[in-house]
Each structure stands twice: as structure tokens, then as C-alpha cells.
Structure 1
Amino acid sequence: MTASECVFCALLAGDGETTWVARRRHASAFLPLPAGRLSPAHTLVVPNDHAVGIQDASAPSLQAVILLAQEIARAMATSLGARGVNILNASGPDSDQSVPHLHLHVVPRWAGDGLDTWPSGVSDHPVDGGWLADVRAALNP
């Protein structure tokens, strides 16, 4: 998918309607559609430049996204009394990513709110016993 085909890029360009929470030079935040909100004030934070996921985002985009997510989490604590947040992300075709544009879900949380965002299962995909050495080698080419 190219940026010209991306729904989030279209929103960033002013095509389509959304409720903006914050607009910054390198990242922006908006509310997901009501049917997709995990809790009141659930917010999406995206880089203003197109990146499909965390794997291909630039360092400046990643920094801008995480710093805006932090800003929003702090604002949720101050204004809503949300003493916790969950930051959720799915990146890549095998992650159940719903929109192929990097985005973080900032989900405000309150004690006893009834939401469980922690995974309830584990992957049964087998990996080679040398996976750790392989990952380390990929980190230090």
C-alpha cells in the first residue's frame, strides 16, 4: 500500500472526517471510530509520514509518535483521572494490524474498569533452538 491509498494518510491530508486530539509537526493523534474504542478517550497516535509499521518507520517518526503518546497519557491522567494506560500496536501482515499505517493505541485505564488488554493466549509457532543467536546476529550486522 502506498501513502496515496492509506486511510490515515488521507485523514492527515484533510480528506475525510475525524476528531483530532493533537496535531504536531511529526505526529498526530485522533479518536478511532466509536465502534472501535476500547474505552472512553481511546486515542490513536500516528506519524505524519507514511510508515506501514514499526519495522519501516524512521527514527524521527518513532520518536515523535512515542513522545506524543506520552503527552496524551499524561493529559489523560490529569484531565480524566486515568492512572494507567495501555499502549497497543500491531505491525506487519501477520500481526492482525487493521490499518497499514503505524499507529499506537493509547487506551486510558481506571481500576476495575472491566477491560482486559493483556493477551490471553500464546503463539504455538515453532522456532529453531538457535533463534536468540540469529536475532543477536541480525542486530549486529
Structure 2
Amino acid sequence: MDCVFCTLIREGSARWVFRGPVVSAFAPLEPLAPGHTLVVPNAHFADLFDTPPDVLAETTEQVRRLAEVMRSALGAGGVNLLHASGPGSQQSVPHLHVHVVPRWPGDGFTTWPGERSGHRLDGDAVDLLAAATAGG
């Protein structure tokens, strides 16, 4: 089965905000806010863990560029970046993508989680992360 985002990129059948040689951006079918946009690499990479560093860097730069444009062209006061990677994250389409959602004061919704995770670890999470990243 072909990836839905790869099909959109190949066929050009989306409402494009921009199309670049490495990364493109398009409007979702059901936007959370006016101007809500998905930024995706043109090549198929399933998630953050699968994406080469140079493609991830270009994707991030295009997200930043789009956020700036949302402030200037749409008058947004800020943006929310929404992303999920991997099966435990509620990722809905297995193609790296970042939702860039323009926000305005009093716009009537929140994208911040309303609850905290109930998952528990053996050991302190910060200590485990610090030990795993030491020297790297």
C-alpha cells in the first residue's frame, strides 16, 4: 500500500502552500485553524527516527520559515507545532510530518495536553536520559 502523503506529493493533488526540492507543505483536509499546514519531506521517511539528519534539518527550517510567514501574512500571534513519531505516539500517517498551527489570542481551543502520562519507569527519567546522552 502506498503512503497517502507520497501519493499527494507524486500526483500534486493537494492544496500546496509551497513545494520545494526536499520539503513541501500543504493544507490538511480538516484544518484545526485557518492556515493550518503540514510540512513533509518529499521522500518517504516514516518518522523522526527514520529521517536522515540533513532532511530533518531542512524540514525544521521550512517549519520555522512557515511559522514566520504565518505571523506576517495571517497576523498569527504564535504557532503550535504538532508531531508524533512511532507507534506509541498516536502517529496517524507513517510519513514524517509536522503540523504548523497558527494561533491567536482567544481563538477558542488548546493543543496542550490536558492530562499527564500514567507511565512509570524503573529509575529517574532525567538520570536515565543524562546517562544515555553523556559523551554524545
Same fold, judged at TM 0.5 (above): yes
Deviations 1:30-73 (A, max 9, x none): 0000xx31101100000112111111111111111111111111
In percent, how many aligned pairs have the same letter? Answer: 47
Counterpart among 22, 26, 41 of residue 30 in structure 1: 26
CA–CA distance in structure 1, aligned partners of residues 129 and 77 of structure 2? 35
Secondary structure of the equivalent of 1:5?
A: coil
CA–CA distance in structure 1, aligned partners of residues 5 and 126 of structure 2? 35
Indicate yes or no: 2:52 matched with 1:55. no
Counterpart among 11, 16, 25 of residue 14 in structure 1: 11
Task: Name stretches of at least 5 consecutive residues in structure 1 with no aligned partner.
Answer: none
Distance change (3 Å), C-alpha of 1:133 and 1:13: same
CA–CA distance in structure 2, aligned partners of residues 73 and 114 of structure 1? 20
CA–CA distance in structure 2, aligned partners of residues 61 and 123 of structure 1? 30
CA–CA distance in structure 2, aligned partners of residues 60 and 137 of structure 1? 26
User: How many residues are matched?
Assistant: 135
Offset at 1:134? 3.8
Which amino acid is 1:23 matched to? R
CA–CA distance in structure 1, aligned partners of residues 85 and 62 of structure 2? 18
Divergent runs of 4+, >2 A: 130-141
Aligned pairs (5 A) from 1:1-141: 5-14=2-11, 17-33=13-29, 36-139=30-133, 140=135
Task: Name stretches of at least 5 consecutive residues in structure 2 with no aligned partner.
Answer: none
Offset at 1:21? 0.4
TM-score scaled by length of structure 2: 0.91
